[in-house]
């Protein structure tokens, strides 16, 4: 057998191995991803139920800093005009 035929057979074997391993392992990774998403959701709910005073401080909206700075700039410009 010449080197070209050996290289072609080797590359075909590697491609076949990659396709078979993808078919076998892709569903496992999808299942693992879905499982971790669901597990983290329930873990987050449990943490919020056990310590509501810590997570309660993040529920109140105090306004955006950008809006506050923009309002301050407009007031200072109006004062300078007077």
Q: What is the pLDDT of residues 1-26, one digit of tens each?
A: 788 999 999 999 999 999 999 999 99
**Predicted model pTM:** 0.47
pLDDT, one tens digit per residue, over 42-78 is 998 898 888 888 777 666 566 566 655 555 555 555 5
**Residues 6+ away with beta carbon under 8 Å from 47:** 55
Backbone phi, psi, residue 63, to 5°: 95, 155
Q: Are 36 and 30 in contact (CB under 8 A)?
A: no
What residue has token string 């950008």?
66
């Amino acid at each position: 057998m010449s080197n070209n035929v050996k290289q072609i057979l080797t590359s075909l074997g590697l491609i076949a191995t990659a396709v078979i391993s993808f078919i076998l392992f892709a569903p496992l990774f999808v299942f693992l991803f879905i499982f971790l998403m669901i597990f983290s959701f329930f873990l987050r709910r449990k943490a919020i139920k056990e310590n509501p005073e810590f997570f309660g401080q993040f529920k109140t909206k105090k306004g955006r800093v950008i809006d506050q700075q923009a309002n301050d700039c407009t007031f200072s410009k109006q004062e300078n005009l007077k």
